């Protein structure tokens, strides 16, 4: 028998549900309350699994400031012309109606940890028994001298979704045949470690297929090495010749400043003038709501218990996805979605009881290099000595057959459809 949320709340179903799941841990209250802030892979997944698996015994509220969710994942495929913009935009309606989640479209401005309440932009206060925070990242606008919030219109980052992603595509489309694109990469730890390098591949793919083969792309990296470097670099050479140049810190000697007015980038070694397009991907930190709740060190990410995804500062709060320090797990949608399922299980077990399992985590990050040519890196992770640690890993190899690469891209496409269905339906 399938029970609706109303059956469970008011009818004989309430007894049945409590019998199946155990008595609520929060006494004197009709239903335990969970508030989730952020409707990305961490928050949307957590809201769904808590609501679905508690069969209506927990009241779940999802607070999301945007009406739609535009995925950063596969935004590079949009930039490369492999997906339409509409294909990376998703709505919350089905998620809310299918699982009885109260969806509030607002910005959460404060967490009152003492009173266990989330404060919204209009002053409304949402009491919670457990709070799940998955607000993603904020950008450090002061991490590149000369760059700023205003400058992101001219030198876009494209590291938060929406208009920024579209700006990147517009700027790419306007690059002349002999133009220079400079990408400034972020320092670790940041959202989507292979993301900048997949994006560069997409830039090169578009330039090549539109005949702008004299254009060049210079990557200025503050890191000595980058994710899947040993696969990306030979692939770039094979696919795009000398178009892409990667410069590590020992070569460029530091990124000193940018000037959005003139399109200039100054490094310790060289000055790039009149750049056709500069893509600044700055340093990052946990989203404001988590930092302001004092769950993260200044400018950093929130420490969590690896077995539960609970904040180490406040046991009533879970921090998921890009906003937390997940040890060896990269900041990816795949990771956030996985972490959400562990948190949902812990929340359910604590508030209404029910089965529990030891935390196990997985991740795969696919990157498209060219048409039907994708590579991947991933692993399996477990809690150990207070951290999430990698216990198995795998990575694509240079020189794999066309068939393997095509198959890897097919997995990438299937994964996107599956995670979006998991989050939003």
Ligand X SMILES: Cc1cc2nc3c(=O)[nH]c(=O)nc-3n(C[C@H](O)[C@H](O)[C@H](O)COP(=O)(O)OP(=O)(O)OC[C@H]3O[C@@H](n4cnc5c(N)ncnc54)[C@H](O)[C@@H]3O)c2cc1C
Write out the residues near ligand X by the rule CB under 6 A: 37-43, 63-66, 69, 72-73, 75-76, 107-108, 134-136, 159, 191-192, 195, 199, 287, 289, 321-323, 331-334, 336, 365-366
Identity of the residue, 178 or 392, whose beta carbon is nearer to ligand X in the bound complex: 392
Q: Is 171 in contact with 202 (CB distance < 8 Å)? A: no
Nearest distance in Å: CB 55, ligand X: 24
Nearest distance in Å: CB 315, ligand X: 21
Nearest distance in Å: CB 375, ligand X: 12
Determine the longest span between alpha carbons in the chain, in angstroms: 74
Nearest distance in Å: CB 70, ligand X: 8
Q: Is 136 in contact with 322 (CB distance < 8 Å)? A: yes
DSSP state of 211: T
- Inter-helix orientation angle 163-173/195-209, to 10°: 40
Nearest distance in Å: CB 289, ligand X: 4
What are the strands of the beta sheet with 125-127, ordered from one edge? 108-112, 117-120, 125-127
Q: What is the dihedral of CA 155, 160, 166, 170, to 10 degrees?
A: 20
Nearest distance in Å: CB 132, ligand X: 10
Identity of the residue, 192 or 309, whose beta carbon is nearer to ligand X in the bound complex: 192
Identity of the residue, 136 or 179, whose beta carbon is nearer to ligand X in the bound complex: 136
Identity of the residue, 66 or 124, whose beta carbon is nearer to ligand X in the bound complex: 66
Q: Which residues pair with 244 in a beta bridge?
A: 217
Identity of the residue, 333 or 388, whose beta carbon is nearer to ligand X in the bound complex: 333
DSSP for 348-408 reads: HHHHH--------EEEEEEEEEETTEEEEEEEEEEEETTEEEEEEEEE--TT--HHHHHHH
DSSP state of 187: P
Nearest distance in Å: CB 139, ligand X: 11
Q: Is 318 in contact with 346 (CB distance < 8 Å)? A: yes
Identity of the residue, 334 or 424, whose beta carbon is nearer to ligand X in the bound complex: 334
Identity of the residue, 5 or 331, whose beta carbon is nearer to ligand X in the bound complex: 331
């Amino acid at each position: 028998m399938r029970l609706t949320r109303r059956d469970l709340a008011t009818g004989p179903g309430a007894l049945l549900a409590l019998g199946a799941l155990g008595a609520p841990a929060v006494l004197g209250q009709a239903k335990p309350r969970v508030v989730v802030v952020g409707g990305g892979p961490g928050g949307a997944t957590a809201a769904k699994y808590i609501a679905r698996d508690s069969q209506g015994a927990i009241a779940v509220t999802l607070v999301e400031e945007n009406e739609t969710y535009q995925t950063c994942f596969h935004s590079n495929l949009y930039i490369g012309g492999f997906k339409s913009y509409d294909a990376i935009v998703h709505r919350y309606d089905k998620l809310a109606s299918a699982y009885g989640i109260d969806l509030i479209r607002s910005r959460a401005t404060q967490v009152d940890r003492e009173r266990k309440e989330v404060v919204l932009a209009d002053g409304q206060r949402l009491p919670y028994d457990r709070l799940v925070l998955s607000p993603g990242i904020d950008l450090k606008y002061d991490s590149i001298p000369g760059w700023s919030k205003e400058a992101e219109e001219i030198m876009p980052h494209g590291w938060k979704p929406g208009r920024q992603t579209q700006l990147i595509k517009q700027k790419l489309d306007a690059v002349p045949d002999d133009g220079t694109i400079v990408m400034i990469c972020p320092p670790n730890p940041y959202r989507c470690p292979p993301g900048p390098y997949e994006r560069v591949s997409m830039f090169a793919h578009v330039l090549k297929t539109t005949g702008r083969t004299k254009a060049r792309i210079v990557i200025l990296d503050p890191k000595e090495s980058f994710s899947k470097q040993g696969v990306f670099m030979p692939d770039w050479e094979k696919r795009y010749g000398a178009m892409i140049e990667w410069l590590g810190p020992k070569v460029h000697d530091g990124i000193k400043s940018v000037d959005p007015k003139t399109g200039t980038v100054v490094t310790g070694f060289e000055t790039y003038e009149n750049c056709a397009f500069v893509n600044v991907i700055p340093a990052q930190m946990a989203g404001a709501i988590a930092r302001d709740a004092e769950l993260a060190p200044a400018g950093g990410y929130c420490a969590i218990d690896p077995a539960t995804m609970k904040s180490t500062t406040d046991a009533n709060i879970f921090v998921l996805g890009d906003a937390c320090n997940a040890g060896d797990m990269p900041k990816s949608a795949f990771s956030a979605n996985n972490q959400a399922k562990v948190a949902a299980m812990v929340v359910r077990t604590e508030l209404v009881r029910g089965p529990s399992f030891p935390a196990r985590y997985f991740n795969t990050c696919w990157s498209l290099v060219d048409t039907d040519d994708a590579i991947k890196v991933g692993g399996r992770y477990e809690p150990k000595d207070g951290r999430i640690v990698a216990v198995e890993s795998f990575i694509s190899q240079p020189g794999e057959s066309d068939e393997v690469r095509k198959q890897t891209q097919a997995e990438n496409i299937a994964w996107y459809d599956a995670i979006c269905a998991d989050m939003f339906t």
